[in-house]
Structure 1
Amino acid sequence: MLRSLTRPCTALTTLSPSRLSPLTPHPPPPLAAHPAVSSPRLFSASSSSRGRRADITRRWLPPAPSIPGLERVSYGSREHFVPGLAHPPRESWERGWLAPRQGGRRATSDNAAVVGGEQQQAFVFHPRTQLVEGERQALWLTKSVLRPGLPPSLQALVAVAKAEAEAGDLSARALRAVEHARLWDLGETRPPRQRFCEVLWRDLMTVCHSLAPRYPGILERSLVEGAKIGVSWQRGPESVHARGPHGAVLVGRAPLGRIASPEETESASGEPLPDFSPISPLIDLQRVHVTHTATTTGIREGFPYPHAHTLFLLEGLDECCRLSASQLRAKMLVFSFAHALAQARALYGEAPLRSLPVPVVVQSVATNGRVFHFSALQLNTTELRGGDGPRNAAWTLGDQLLYDFAKTRPLVHKRLVQVPVGVSGFNPSTFYTFLAFFLNGAL
């Protein structure tokens, strides 16, 4: 069989009799002339293909016809292999339940119509999305207006947090937390950012939790880590999704109170949204085909702390993705908006509302172990398709240094010590803002 493919006998007729001689080798014929060869490939026989058909020719054979009464006799009924009998046909088997790491997704009531028909195109914002325009692009995605700085209610809490920190010597404890994260890691000149960033955040959370005897509302909260959010909304004619793990989230029994008055919300309705023409604002988002659009926050139903309080984003844990300051604040706004939208749908239903009866507020804090960013978002409307109507409000306070340097060895330049050993340039006002965000809702 293989020899007939490479050197058929009819190839001798291609040469004239005058040129044929006993010493003239037979020229190889074109393989494309054979009806079973679709491309010029060379085949060779091996020891594994002797005595049986080559596997390479099996795919060229047409499927065996199914004739009633002439079915193949297989050993399927005997439940063991029998030489000479055909292999039984494989039957499709369904597990009966959805395995997260095996097989495909089952068709449910939410995606049965999509799986059976045309898939829906969407744009996904995930934790590694890098928005080129930063905050301006996030404002268009969330239909929000930006207010620089902190709202007046949080500014008043910063003064309260400063008084509490001075009374309880919390600033010194925050400084020791920085030293613990940066200087107590023996064996290395500089600990990796993936390590000291998380250590510093956990130590600062421990310092804030020490005020629980004075403010019992702190005990009505829980810290959820590794939760994956999945929220979708319509922005113009396109569907936008925010999905994936984003860090830790502090949740509580009761939602946060509003931070913008109704008059401020009404005055923001006429403010224009950022314009990116002729470029689409969705240019940096990943285009995918989705099969389900269910809203989830990663928290099971019936959890005693269902309301999102503050999101904590630790920049630097993912070595494959480094975000700029503006891109990090955009990530804070989008995921805060996603949590607020999921909470609003759980309270008021899936139908879009032009104006929420009670706005939903979610805070967020991001840090790389040295620089802190703070933001707050108030969700006033879930009608996001058009560009008119009420706007959501957002506040950001970025690039707040907690300290300037943390050195295990002095920095010497021209025989002068420029930066001494230890933590230098500690800024307690950044810790006061962190404490104010933590105390919001507990006073």
Structure 2
Amino acid sequence: MELFIYIFVFFFLSCLKHQGKMRLTLRLCKGSILWRQKRQWEKKAQFRDVPVTLRQEVKRKIPDLVIHDPSVKPPLPKWQPPVDDIRFQTKRDEHRLYKEEEVYKMTSRTRFIEGLKQACILTKSQLFKGLPPGISSLVGKIEFPDQDLLVQRAIMHSKFWNPTKDRLQRRFDTTNLRWHFPREYGITRHQSGRILLGNLLHLCESVSGQVPSTIMERHLIPNPHLYTHYSYKGKMVVMDSLQDYMTASKTELPPFGDKALIEDSVNHEIPDMFPLLPTIDFEKSHLYEIKNSYGWVDKCSTHCPQTIFKVEAGFWPSEHRVSRDAMLCLGYAMVHAKHKYGNDVKILPEPVTIQCIDVNVDSVCFIYFQLNTLDLDNTDGVKNFLWCDADTKLYNVTMSKPWLGKEFEKTVYHSYESGPFQKMLATYIYGCPETKHV
């Protein structure tokens, strides 16, 4: 009560001071009572649920009348899924692909703990660093006008010149973890890699004027699905992978190593991973098929696989990417060898060669595989060949660090390298008849 008197006196004196310019109304003195109403509702409000009853006259006339509450839903019958629909199968042994024998399964997301060493054991390969002699002799031999400028534009297209505005992962910097970067929108890593690979392939196709067989005899196949299997140490390994692109032709690629190198490979010793097994990173599965497929019709004009093109959008180290790609090259070479020489072939009469170009947002990895033997259960005899040129940077990036000053507020792309695209172009034209005169 005293507080109300003080407020009344305050407003009365204010009115006298302003000579009647302010009116002292009842609403002004009353104040807000909304909070009182809410508090009263929370404490004393009650909801009474009065049960529904029937009058005595109705009960006498209809004694069996039952009242149903409309707010209570009746129980529904239990739904039974159709038996022939594979999406609703709950038991694994009822799956159409289920088999009793357990196998090791490799996919595009399989990462090898030992990298190239493990891939060499699984493929029974002898490792060579760098490019094969046939590829290195073609580097820089064929060019087109404004080559470096067009490659830089392809990079800019994959990083900036695209209308995609997806929500990107929030950035952080290990040198200043307390700095809060704002949310960014732009091109995701996977989309950027696909754009870059498509642009580089388009630039490689532009040399068709100098090398016509790249267009006349080869075909670019999108998303070929590799599915094959082989035996390793008495256990079946199933390879199931989807690639981004692949070139195929009527003729095979020339072998990278000659017969003398193949004969010398008998003395090469395959490394060991003891006490670990090389198959430690494979999944164990009972769901698989027994088939050998490139991903397209076998007996067509483009029967021979040549070059795999793959985009890796993750943050995998280059050695993990190369080891995965070496297994994919083994898979395609194995399918082609089985179609050509039969499923029981061990030592191939002629080698089968496969190339792979793995593109990231800022680097390119090159893998060259030559299949000489399919006797992979032991480490004796002839070995396969594996050439690797990994982590070839297209450009370097200096990320923004705003806490260091205005000079470091923007991300800078610099140090463009022309070597990776020249290697890619040499890999693309390898095996064409026109390259014999280069």
Q: Structure 2 length normalisation: TM-score?
A: 0.70
Q: CA deviation at 1:177?
A: 0.8
1:257 paired to 2:254: yes
1:150-184 per-position Cα deviation (integer Å, ceiling 9, x unaligned): 11111101132xxx22x522222111111121121
| Structure 1 CA distance for aligned equivalents of residues 146 and 86 of structure 2 | 48
Q: CA deviation at 1:334?
A: 0.3
Q: Structure 2: state its 5+ residue gaps.
A: 1-71, 91-95, 166-183
Q: Secondary structure at the match of 2:285?
A: strand
Corresponding residue of 1:119: 100
Corresponding residue of 1:181: 158
| Structure 1 CA distance for aligned equivalents of residues 410 and 224 of structure 2 | 41
Asked if 1 retains the 8 angstrom alpha-carbon contact of 2:238 and 2:288, the reply is: no
Asked if 1 retains the 8 angstrom alpha-carbon contact of 2:308 and 2:355, the reply is: yes
Asked if 2 retains the 8 angstrom alpha-carbon contact of 1:124 and 1:240, the reply is: yes
- Structure of greater Rg: 2
| Structure 1 CA distance for aligned equivalents of residues 414 and 360 of structure 2 | 17
| Structure 1 CA distance for aligned equivalents of residues 212 and 227 of structure 2 | 32
The equivalent position to 1:273 in structure 2, one of 270, 274, 281, is: 270
The equivalent position to 2:419 in structure 1, one of 410, 416, 429, is: 429
Asked if 2 retains the 8 angstrom alpha-carbon contact of 1:182 and 1:406, the reply is: no
1:193 paired to 2:189: yes
1:159 paired to 2:140: yes
Corresponding residue of 2:324: 331
The equivalent position to 1:299 in structure 2, one of 287, 296, 300, is: 296
Corresponding residue of 1:381: 373
Q: Secondary structure at the match of 1:397?
A: strand
Q: Structure 1: state its 5+ residue gaps.
A: 1-45, 57-91, 105-111
Asked if 2 retains the 8 angstrom alpha-carbon contact of 1:256 and 1:309, the reply is: yes
1:364-407 per-position Cα deviation (integer Å, ceiling 9, x unaligned): 01121101110100000122222211100000001110011388
| Structure 2 CA distance for aligned equivalents of residues 303 and 312 of structure 1 | 21
Q: Secondary structure at the match of 2:248?
A: strand
Corresponding residue of 2:359: 367
1:391 paired to 2:383: yes
Asked if 2 retains the 8 angstrom alpha-carbon contact of 1:339 and 1:362, the reply is: yes
The one-letter code of the counterpart of 1:313 is: K
Asked if 2 retains the 8 angstrom alpha-carbon contact of 1:231 and 1:342, the reply is: yes
Q: CA deviation at 1:237?
A: 1.5
Comparing 420-429 with 299-308, greater Cα deviation is found at 420-429
Q: How does 1:127-276 map to 2 (within 5 A)?
A: 127-160=108-141, 164-165=142-143, 168-185=145-162, 190-219=186-215, 220-276=217-273
1:438 paired to 2:428: yes
| Structure 2 CA distance for aligned equivalents of residues 209 and 303 of structure 1 | 22
Cα 1:136–1:346 change in 2 (3 A) is same
Q: Structure 1 length normalisation: TM-score?
A: 0.69
1:98-150 per-position Cα deviation (integer Å, ceiling 9, x unaligned): x997989xxxxxxx9x97xx722211111111111111111111111110111
The one-letter code of the counterpart of 1:266 is: E
The one-letter code of the counterpart of 2:128 is: R
Q: CA deviation at 1:429?
A: 0.8
Asked if 2 retains the 8 angstrom alpha-carbon contact of 1:131 and 1:327, the reply is: yes
Of Structure 1 and Structure 2, the greater helix share is in 2
Q: Secondary structure at the match of 1:436?
A: helix
